[in-house]
Amino acid sequence: MDKNIIQQYINKKVQFFPHDTYYKAGYIIGVDDAGIAYEVTESFKHEDQGIFFRNHASNFCFKLIEEE
């Protein structure tokens, strides 16, 4: 995914890996030439929470969660 497209989702609530077995949601923290930094704030398993980094070559998918 193009980093310029991902930048519009910074600080918006998203669900990470929507077709994964376990629910994970949080926020994209930043995007640069190296990859994407994101924070999982809600998850089915507590150990899945935290700040993570994925490079642009990895399979990273998410969907926007509509906040009220």
Q: What is the pLDDT along the chain (68 residues), one digit of tens a residue?
A: 677 788 899 999 999 999 899 999 999 999 999 999 999 999 999 999 999 999 989 988 999 998 66
Phi-psi region of 17 (alpha: psi -120 to 50; beta: other; left: phi over 0): left
What pLDDT was estimated at residue 9? 93
Q: CA torsion, points 16, 56, 48, 38, in degrees to nearest 10? A: -70
Write the CB contacts of 29 (distance below 8 Å, at least 6 apart in sequence): 10, 11, 37, 38, 39, 51
Q: How many CB atoms lie within 10 A of CB 58?
A: 9
